[in-house]
Amino acid sequence: MVCLGNICRSPIAEGVLQSKVNSDLVFVDSAGTAAYHVGNAPDKRSIYIASKYNVNLKNQKARKFTVSDFESFDTIYAMDESNYQNIIKLAKNNSHISKVKLILNEVNPLSNQSVPDPYYGGTQGFEKVYMMLQEACSIIAEKLQNDR
Ligand code: 4NP
């Protein structure tokens, strides 16, 4: 799960997807394409919204996306078009490129919609982001189940 800062959107996506899958079988992680917040906990507003739905983000710490993530993960979900482009720039081959998807295309295929960046807005934006990611992660979890 990748966004820009790894403190608002992708921590929610990580927490929500991990809560929907068997952690013995599926490893979920998140990262940011920028290093501004490396080492920081998720934004308080993300922690608060997730906790309302019993998803704990408190143990997460921001890190920067690295080229080795292309090898470590089967699928890389970008939150928005700009994150997508930033990840693709780091790809070394077609196999890397093919792993990168816009997360909301799981909900509306080929629509190329973005999860809006809630950082500069209020709590409402985080609620909206949470709902979008909850829907996308339900679909992803179901697919992972069917893959087995
Ligand atoms: P995120 O949100 O990419 O969802 O974690 C942001 C967090 C921080 C900044 C921008 C977006 N920032 O500019 O510091």
What are 33-62's pLDDT values in tens digits? Answer: 999 999 999 999 999 999 999 999 999 999
Q: What's domain 2-147's architecture?
A: 3-Layer(aba) Sandwich (3.40)
Q: Is 4 in the pocket of ligand 1 (CB under 6 A)?
A: yes
Q: Which of 1, 2, 8, 64 to probe ligand 1 with, by most ligand atoms within 8 A of CB?
A: 8
Q: How far is the CA of 6 from the centre of ligand 1 (A)?
A: 7
Ranges of each domain in the chain: 2-147
Nearest protein Cα to ligand 1, atom 9: 5
Contact 115, 62 (CB under 8 A): no
Question: In this structure, what token pair is assigned to residue 148?
Answer: 């087995």
Q: Is 49 in the pocket of ligand 1 (CB under 6 A)?
A: no
Reported as a pLDDT band with limits 50, 70 and 90, residue 148 is: confident
For residue 45, indicate whether it is catalytic: no
Buried b (16+ CB within 10 A) or exposed e, 79-112: bbeebbebbeeebeeeebeebbebbbebbeeeee
For residue 8, indicate whether it is catalytic: no
Tell me the whole-structure pTM to 2 decimals: 0.98
Q: Is 78 in the pocket of ligand 1 (CB under 6 A)?
A: no
User: What would the pLDDT profile of 87-122 be if each residue is shown by its tens digit?
Assistant: 999 999 999 999 999 999 999 999 999 999 999 999
SS3 (DSSP) at 89: helix
Give the pLDDT confidence score for residue 128 in this predicted structure.
Answer: 98
